Amino acid sequence: MDQKLRLYCNTDQLVNLRQFLNGKLSGTTMSEIESMQVILAVEEVCANLIIHSHECNPTEFIELNVMRKNGSIVIEIKDYGRGFNILEYQEPNIDQVLKTKRKGGLGIMLVKKIMDKIEFESNGTKNICRLFKNL
Amino acid sequence: MLEIKTIKEEKYSILQLEGEVDASNSVELDSSIQQLLEAGETGILVDASSLEYISSAGLGVFMSYLEDFHEKNIKMVIFGLKEKVYQVFVILGLDKLMNIKNTKEEALEEI
């Protein structure tokens, strides 16, 4: 089921990302609710990269690869440029989000709560974020 | 694809959401709520029965108004959430912060 998607850095592309992942996850043992949550987690990482790392520049792209590995679904998200280390990012808590009336900050919280394992690696130009969900 | 319809009733307004809210269109949800506030609405029912998906961009819009609503005594109640969408609220504990009801009738009792 090794499958790749090239996603150009425009938020209008997120709907294509959901369709792509839906196709990949529908053949697994995941329930509809579970696979929707995995899709959401992947979208949060991608939206973050599109908006913050690539400033919605539609000529730039990120690459997705969906794999099955040792009883897990692994979604690999690759981008080139200013990396975003999701593991080092300290997300705000819900109270801070409420008090500051900020509209962001919830996405990474969702990713960390939904996925079973997260890896990040970067060599300075190529960044890879891997999201794992146990089947 | 997101469609938002605002229906004005005598004592409240209904915000009908259909489709998917993500980072590409959450600004539309934001401006719909903003318009209701500018019109002085004090009761907002969010009909989420045709909402198929919401990402943090949409959740963030709701969250950003909660303090203001509280201060100005504006009631917002979300009803009709599909289980898969409701579970996204639950993951973040937003079901404890927002007024969420199953049916329109139950939601109306809160206004």
The shortest C-alpha distance from B51 to chain A (Å) reads 13
**B2-109, CATH topology level:** Transcription Regulator spoIIAA (3.30.750)
Q: What is the mean pLDDT of residues A45-59?
A: 95
Q: State the average pLDDT for chain A.
A: 93
Task: Give the bridge partners for A4, in sequence order.
Answer: A65
Which bin fits B6, alpha (ψ -120 to 50), beta or left (φ > 0)?
beta
Q: B95 and chain A: CB distance < 8 Å anywhere?
A: no
Nearest CB among A12, A44, A101 relative to B56 is that of A44
The shortest C-alpha distance from A67 to chain B (Å) reads 23
Q: Sorting pLDDT into bands at 50, 70 and 90, what band is A2?
A: low
pLDDT > 90? residue A79: yes
Q: What is the mean pLDDT of residues A82-101?
A: 86
The shortest C-alpha distance from A28 to chain B (Å) reads 17
Task: Enter the DSSP assignment of A2.
Answer: -
Q: Which two tokens stand for residue B6?
A: 């605002």
Which chain A residue has the Cα nearest residue B24? Answer: A11
pLDDT > 70? residue A61: yes
- Are A75 and A66 a contacting pair, CB within 8 Å? yes
Q: What is the pLDDT along chain B (111 residues), one digit of tens a residue?
A: 999 999 999 999 999 999 999 999 999 999 999 999 999 999 999 999 999 999 999 999 999 999 999 999 999 999 999 999 999 999 999 999 999 999 999 999 999
Q: Would the CB atoms of B97 and A98 count as touching at under 8 Å?
A: yes
Q: What is the mean pLDDT of residues A27-56?
A: 95
Q: Could you tell me which CATH number the domain at A3-134 has?
A: 3.30.565.10
What is the domain partition of chain A in residue ranges? Answer: 3-134
For strands B43-54 and B99-101, give the pairing.
Answer: unpaired
Q: Which helix (H) or strand (E) holds B53?
A: strand B43-54
Q: Would the CB atoms of A107 and B20 count as touching at under 8 Å?
A: no
The pTM is what? 0.95
| pLDDT value at residue B67 | 93
Q: Which two tokens stand for residue A107?
A: 């996405």
Single out the residue of A125, A115, A132, A122 nearest to residue A40, CA to CA. A115
- Are A14 and A81 a contacting pair, CB within 8 Å? no
